[in-house]
Structure 1
Amino acid sequence: MAYTSDNQRWPLLWRTVFLLTIFVVLSQVVIYIWVQRSVQGHFEEMDAEILTHAAFNWRKQGDTSASDTIEANNSTRQTSLSNTASAAAQAAHPHSDWQGYNLKSLLIDRHGEVLSSTPSSFADELPVDFRVLSLWQHHREQQFVTQINERRYRAVIVQNNDTFAFIALPIDIHHQYLLQFNRQLSLILLAITLLLVSIAAFSVYWGFAPLSTIIQKMKDIHPERLDERINTSAMPLELRPLAESYNLMMAKLESNFDSLLRFSDNIAHELRTPLATLGTQTQVMLSKTRNTNEYIEQLHHQHDTLEQLSALINNMLLLAKTQKGLEDSQLKLVDTDLLINKLIDYFELIAEDRKITFEKTGSFGTVLGDKGLLQRLFANLLSNAIYYAASDSVIIIEAVTTSTSTITITNKLAKPLTQSDADKLFERFHRHDQTKAMHAGSGLGLSIVQAIARAHGGKVSITIKHEYEFQVSVQLSATSSSDYLS
């Protein structure tokens, strides 16, 4: 997936800080709204409790005064109402600053006439269009919020017989407190947000600081210092897989570079030897006049040397070709049974001198590949098996075909061989034994086998079951004609 958007080009530090900032800000907004509503709800409950208590006292005192009024005559009714209003106002608001809340009340009759107010100046502060009875029609005995002369009140209207009490509690102080509280809460949450973001930025920067070690190691890669590794124990747990991958990469790079150096040295040596031989032979022949037979004999020696040099170059070209992979035009259906039979017929003549025989068993399938390369693969294996096998022995060729075609060649060795020595046989120009009893080729036979197997998507392995039992297994992808045609 291609990273093309602008935000994906941001540094990891800024991306982390940006996402964390969004999360923290959203969290702080939720906290701010929750705390604000909690505090506001607390004030509303407290105001409601004060108003409910004041209305209860007024109604209780009003009932007592009403009983006294019934016993009075009609001529003194107004006086009784005034006394009732005064008593009720005193009950509703016994003093002008009840517990510091400055509770105010207004007592009217059923005609809307003001009977009394507490404090006495409260009635004069009311606007001209202020109507208690109109508010009573809308709110009855439910608490509500109103504004009188630019001051906010939480109020309730209570009825008792023919009188109505308007009890109001100023809430400006609550509003001012909430404004100041919200301002301080915003500053606190902003400070917490900045602190968290700063800590997160520092943590990310500090946490990824070990990456600079890996970066510096990469910058310092040099052919003479490929053995340097990163101390994974000093890395954070999250970065240890990266450090281990870097060490594994450097180990492979060091191994491949050493192999390339050895290959360069070996190929220079392999090319230098036949060229030096040709040069020496030519100088010897030119040093003095010789007869025709000597010239002919020398030309035969030079021809053999040139063939050896040509075979070496062809093998190197074959290795280079197989390492690039196979093209579709090279792939054909190859019958391994027919291929192995032809090779056995050819190598039987060579093996007869040492009384070596072949035994072929198993189910040989069909593989998709380059017939010429596969023939070269099995020819090299059989050739090496003959030269490494002990005299008067049997070379067993066994095949198992399922989803893959595995062909195993087993032979008894003339000389013991360990597994570590066998693993080195795939190296280019490696010769386990230079004596005449073993194969004295260029040392590229098994390297070519391995390269051809890999080019076909397969693999080859060598197993030493006993010191004198040598087994080579080649695994290739099996196929059928119907699969190929489809």
Structure 2
Amino acid sequence: MKYRFDNRRLPLLWRTIFLLTIFVVISQIVIYIWVQRSVSGHFEQMDSEIITHAAFNLRKRADYFNEHTTATLPLSSTPSAPLYPDDLHASWSDYNLKILVTDRQGHRLSSAPSGFAHELPADFDLWSLWQTHHEQQFVTKINDRNYRAVLIKDEQILALIALPIDVHHQYLLQFNRQLSLILLAITLLLVSVAALSVYWGFAPLSTIVQKMQGINPERLDERVSVSDMPRELRPLAESYNLMMSKLESNFASLLRFSDNIAHELRTPLATLGTQTQVMLSKARDTEEYIEQLHHQHDTLQQLSSLINNMLLLAKTQKGLHDSQLAPVNTEELIIKLLDYFELIAEDRRLLFKKTGSFEVVLGDEGLLQRLFANLMSNAIHYAASDSVISVDAAIEDPSELQPIKPSNISTAHRSALIITITNRMAQPINQADADKLFERFHRHHTTTNMHAGSGLGLSIVQAIAQAHDGTVSIRIRDHEYFAVSVKLYLAQI
């Protein structure tokens, strides 16, 4: 099995140090090569200028010598000879130049210093060097010493000018060693400073880590101080505080839901238990048993309805599968529901009014029927008598659609149908209280108490709408009109 390296397993500190080290090392290598070549080139240029100047002077002496004599000077020439070694070397003694002059037959005529000719190996031949280098400067090794040299030739002589460069080599060796140590120290310093900076820079993260480790139901109200965080970490701190706020709100909602469902289940179960104990306390007539069984049947129906509603909520929260989706004609669906609820509405002298263009949407017909049935039932029970309940449909302008991330149904670049059910309320309600109606088991208290439901109607409506990637919202208009809008996406036929 091949092992694939994953840098995400490395801590952030080590990843930063690793990348910075690679960058610094590459940079230092480039700097080292550049400085080393720059210094070496400087010495080469300086040595080249010295040799070039010496060659120029030697040519002048050779020209003067050729004008005044035609004979080849032996090494025992008189000091007045133009190429006398001491005179030739006098002006270049500061540079430790080595000069050797031979005739065209290879006989050594002179040298500077005078002992330089005797230091040369017996097989040292200037003419063989001339065949290779001519008058180009070159580097050679004589008696284990390095020289930069050049050969000069005219009609009668061949001269070698050599400059020892061992001192330069030793200096460059020492310089390169010191430069390597300096660059290594700079690398270690930069990496250490970077590691310390990263450690200090992300130290505030430990505050968030401690907060997260200490999360428990009793401390959900604790927040991170955003102003104490570095600017780069403030979005993280704000996101953490937002997450904790949502967590606190959801946990509080869960507690209320748990309390409410316990109360909702306890009441019918306690009623059944009490009724059974009363009936078993003594013998009773058949009519009493029958009447009590009817009461218990009603209680069981209430309990069954509550459980079915809870199961429906759980089902819709998991989303819908593609197999559950099909084109649903909202025109036929709304008409069928209106026919059913018109009889109930007549008892309270209410009238339904349908307007707009009802299109085909994509969804589950049974769930959508439950959604609009809940809305119409609520509208009837909370509407003022002798009023009109309007059911309006409108296509949302595609240019106003905001891109959303779909969960099960692809809603990108699709038009939406908005169905709004509006009724005039018997008793006014403000927008803040209306927004709470989506909470499970939340009941808005009225003085009429005409509708005593379980408090799950609008929660089911919201869950079904979200399962269809739609939305549901409540608006209070003119302090007396209650409008519930459901947004569903059109089917692409």
Residues 97-150 of structure 1 deviation map (CA, whole Å, 9 limit, x = unaligned): 622x21111122222211111111100011111111222232222211111111
Equivalent of residue 435 in structure 1, options 447, 450, 470: 447
Equivalent of residue 159 in structure 2, options 165, 170, 187: 165
Q: In the alignment, what sits opposite 1:32?
A: 32
Q: In the alignment, what sits opposite 1:63?
A: 63
Distance change >3 Å, CA 9–CA 462, structure 1 → 2: same
Give the Cα separation in 2 of the matches to 1:256 and 1:168: 91
Deviation at 1:23, TM superposition (A): 1.3
What is the SS of the residue equivalent to 2:443?
coil
Q: Pairwise mapping of residues 123-138 of structure 1 onto structure 2 (< 5 A)?
A: 123-138=117-132
What is the SS of the residue equivalent to 2:451?
coil
Structure 2: where are the runs of 5+ without partners? 397-414
Bigger mean CA deviation after superposition, 442-451 or 49-58: 49-58
Give the Cα separation in 1 of the matches to 2:338 and 2:84: 127
What is the SS of the residue equivalent to 1:233?
helix
Q: Contact (CA 8 Å) 2:352, 2:388: kept in 1 or not?
A: yes
Q: Contact (CA 8 Å) 2:100, 2:159: kept in 1 or not?
A: yes
Q: Contact (CA 8 Å) 1:413, 1:468: kept in 2 or not?
A: yes
Q: In the alignment, what sits opposite 1:460?
A: 472
Deviation at 1:348, TM superposition (A): 0.9
Deviation at 1:196, TM superposition (A): 1.2
Q: In the alignment, what sits opposite 2:54?
A: 54
**Does residue 1:354 correspond to 2:366, yes or no?**
no
Give the Cα separation in 2 of the matches to 1:250 and 1:79: 102
Deviation at 1:430, TM superposition (A): 0.8
Q: Pairwise mapping of residues 188-337 of structure 1 onto structure 2 (< 5 A)?
A: 188-285=182-279, 293-337=287-331
Give the Cα separation in 1 of the matches to 2:73 and 2:100: 20
Deviation at 1:282, TM superposition (A): 4.3
Deviation at 1:288, TM superposition (A): 6.0
What is the SS of the residue equivalent to 1:44?
helix
Deviation at 1:440, TM superposition (A): 1.8
**Does residue 1:44 correspond to 2:44, yes or no?**
yes
Structure 1: where are the runs of 5+ without partners? none
Equivalent of residue 421 in structure 1, options 419, 429, 433: 433
**Does residue 1:343 correspond to 2:337, yes or no?**
yes
Give the Cα separation in 1 of the matches to 2:468 and 2:46: 86
Give the Cα separation in 2 of the matches to 1:22 and 1:186: 16
Distance change >3 Å, CA 280–CA 8, structure 1 → 2: closer
Q: In the alignment, what sits opposite 2:90?
A: 94
Q: Contact (CA 8 Å) 2:419, 2:487: kept in 1 or not?
A: yes
Residues 160-218 of structure 1 deviation map (CA, whole Å, 9 limit, x = unaligned): 44122211111111111111111111111111111111112222222222222222222
**Does residue 1:389 correspond to 2:383, yes or no?**
yes
Equivalent of residue 406 in structure 1, options 418, 434, 440: 418
Q: In the alignment, what sits opposite 1:445?
A: 457
Residues 52-104 of structure 1 deviation map (CA, whole Å, 9 limit, x = unaligned): 1111122223333433337xxx7x98799766755464564215x622x2111
Distance change >3 Å, CA 54–CA 90, structure 1 → 2: farther
Deviation at 1:367, TM superposition (A): 2.1
Deviation at 1:268, TM superposition (A): 1.6
RMSD (CA atoms): 2.5
Q: In the alignment, what sits opposite 1:175?
A: 169
Distance change >3 Å, CA 38–CA 85, structure 1 → 2: farther
Give the Cα separation in 1 of the matches to 2:276 and 2:136: 127
Give the Cα separation in 1 of the matches to 2:121 and 2:44: 26
Aligned residues: 473
What is the SS of the residue equivalent to 2:473?
strand
Q: Contact (CA 8 Å) 2:75, 2:110: kept in 1 or not?
A: no
Q: Contact (CA 8 Å) 2:65, 2:83: kept in 1 or not?
A: yes
TM-score normalised over the length of structure 1: 0.90
Q: In the alignment, what sits opposite 2:410?
A: none
Bigger mean CA deviation after superposition, 281-290 or 25-34: 281-290
Distance change >3 Å, CA 160–CA 422, structure 1 → 2: same
What is the SS of the residue equivalent to 1:390?
coil
Letter in 2 for 1:469: Y
Q: Contact (CA 8 Å) 2:96, 2:163: kept in 1 or not?
A: yes
Q: Contact (CA 8 Å) 2:317, 2:467: kept in 1 or not?
A: yes
Q: In the alignment, what sits opposite 2:101?
A: 107
Q: Contact (CA 8 Å) 1:334, 1:366: kept in 2 or not?
A: yes
